[in-house]
Amino acid sequence: MYSALKVDGQRLYKLARAGIDVDRAPRRIRIETIELQWFRPPNAAFSVVCATGTYVRALVRDVGEALGCGATLTALRRTRSGRFTLAEAIPLDRAGDAKVIPVAEILSELPEIRIDAAVAGDVRHGRKLAAPAGAPAGPIRLTGPVGELVAIVEADQGRLRYLRVFAG
Are 88 and 148 within one domain? no
* Percent of the chain surpassing pLDDT 90: 52
> Does residue 141 carry a pLDDT above 90?
yes
Among 94, 124, 147, the domain-final residue is 94
Residue 4 lies in a domain: no
> Does residue 98 carry a pLDDT above 80?
no
β-strand 84-85 against 140-143: which pairing, if any? unpaired
Averaging pLDDT over each range in 9-13, 38-42, 84-88, 96-100, which range is the top one? 38-42
Helix (H) or strand (E) holding 62: helix 56-67
Residue 156 lies in a domain: yes
Residue 17 lies in a domain: no
Measured between alpha carbons, how far is 136 from 9 in angstroms, rounded to an integer? 26
The CATH number for 144's domain is 2.30.130.10
Are 34 and 73 within one domain? yes
Give the CA count within 13 Å in the CB-facing half-sphere of 132: 12
Are 70 and 120 within one domain? no
Are 32 and 71 within one domain? yes
Core vs surface per residue 150-162: b (16+ CB within 10 A) or e: bbbbbbeeeebee
Residue 76 lies in a domain: yes
Among 94, 126, 145, the domain-final residue is 94
Are 74 and 134 within one domain? no
Domain holding 116, by residue range, is 103-165
pLDDT at 114: 94
Please provide the size of the chain in residues.
Answer: 168
pLDDT at 107: 87
Average pLDDT, rounded, for the chain: 89
Phi, psi at residue 63, to the nearest 5°?
Answer: -65, -45
Contact 22, 31 (CB under 8 A): no
Among 41, 65, 94, the domain-final residue is 94
Are 41 and 73 within one domain? yes
Provide the number of structural domains found in the chain.
2
